[in-house]
Amino acid sequence: MSEIILIQAEYILTWDDGYKIISDGEILIEDSLITYTGPRLKRSPESINRVLNTSDSLVMPGFINTHTHAAMTLFRSYADDMSLMDWLQKKIWPVEAKLQREDIYWGTMLAILEMLKGGTTCFADMYFFMDEVARACGESGIRASISQGLIGIENAKGLDGLKESSRLVENWHKKDDGRITVMLGPHAPYTCPPAYLQKVASKAAELGIPIHIHLSETRSEVEECRAAYGKTPIELMDEIGLLEQNVLAAHCVHLTGREIEIISEKKVAVAHNPGSNLKLGSGVAPLAELLKKGALVSLGTDGASSNNNLDMVEEMRLAALLQKGVSEDPTVVTAEDALTMATLNGAKSLFLDEEIGTLRKGSKADLIMFNLKKPHFYPLHNLISHLVYSAASSDVELVMVNGKFLMEKGKLLTIDEERILFEAQNRALRLVKDM
């Protein structure tokens, strides 16, 4: 028998060729699907299992974090104020070599705990021991697109990684009520040579799944690619045919005008990570130019070891403010642009926009509720501007994914917060001991 839930709110933020605010609205949910979003109607209470009537509230689609390495929460603050390659080679890669399967599970659980409390209902993850990531997602109720990080420098290791990715697809793609999907995850051109990336592209086509890759994150990466192949990373990916597949490209900080055109023409989804790019000194991506050319851009936090949080409200604000400051133009990257990148564009970037990213009829019920009874929301002139320029992730009080409540009144319902904090702390200390 279907479970029917009715959520009534002071304001509902939905999408209809642009964002629309419904005052005194309601959302009707049957099992995992939204069957109605609009003004309040007279209904027979006998047909509804639960009515949630909220005041001083805004209900909206959940945030979608399109690039992270969830279990790297275990390394939060472990290696700060370093350049990317020093950070990777001297600190992160050595300690990652000590990771065990259970560490990945608990590190991912810590990330999920943080993301749910901040209103993130779906995330894209690239790391390893991805069965453990899938297990954490399945148990917690969050939605995720997962990919095994692939390194192709050593031929045997690279081929083993592709086999492992194929098993990941077989075991987890569209499992747990469809909440878990899988991509192929070649790390970057500097760890995956062209011949290997062509194998990845072929495997993605064979399996019918997208590719998640880091591209043009730092200036030195671009210069090294030019020196080795006579092309920038984006040009190289285009030449070898990788961009003929559905591709989610993280970072894309250092781009030429021609590369922006390639990204737009090939419909590459860009995961913009302003916080991580700033902290690692990687630069400021040409977001305004990408949007002007019609590129699909979403938002990611990157891992908590390079950000150092998984706060999508903060990423929205950074995305908008950085571009205004760099361009000296307050009209570029509006509040609505930033909100779209964090929600609908996130769904499109994960190739899930038929299911999530809006609160329209037929969508999956992935939604969050902000408590507006806070000084920084008043006066209520423009709620979209408030979400981007004023809100805090701690203002989120309710989270639903796939029609299931995962958090109510700020209390998580599916995971044990105290146990997660305990396990994460002890495992993190063990990993960095003697490093």
331-390 tens-digit pLDDT: 999 999 999 999 999 999 999 999 999 999 999 999 999 999 999 999 999 999 999 999
Global pTM value: 0.97
Closest Cα partner for 8 from 54, 41, 67?
54
Check which CATH number belongs to the domain holding 48 and give it: 2.30.40.10
Tokens of 363: 């969508």
Final residue belonging to a domain, choices 321, 349, 377: 349
Same domain, yes or no, for 111 and 200? Answer: yes
The reply to whether 132 falls in a domain is: yes
Domain finish residue from 301, 331, 349: 349
Amino acid at 1: M
* Residue pair 68/54 in contact by the 8 Å Cβ criterion: no
Q: Which two tokens stand for residue 42?
A: 């007279």
Residue 1: pLDDT band (50, 70, 90) is: low
Domain count, the chain: 2
Shared-domain flag, residues 396 and 280: no
Phi, psi of 180 (to 5 degrees): -110, 125
Q: Quick one: average pLDDT of 379-403? A: 98
Q: How far is CA 414 from the centre of its chain?
A: 20
pLDDT at 205: 98
Q: Is the pLDDT of residue 141 over 90?
A: yes
Q: How confident is the model at residue 147 (pLDDT cuts 50, 70, 90)?
A: very high
Query: Torsion over CA of 278, 282, 283 and 287, rounded to 10 degrees?
Result: -90
Could you tell me if 258 and 402 lie in one domain? no
Domain that residue 388 falls in: 4-61+358-412
* Helix, strand or coil, per DSSP, at residue 36: strand
CA distance 216 to 218: 6
10 three-class SS: strand
The per-residue pLDDT for 76 is: 96
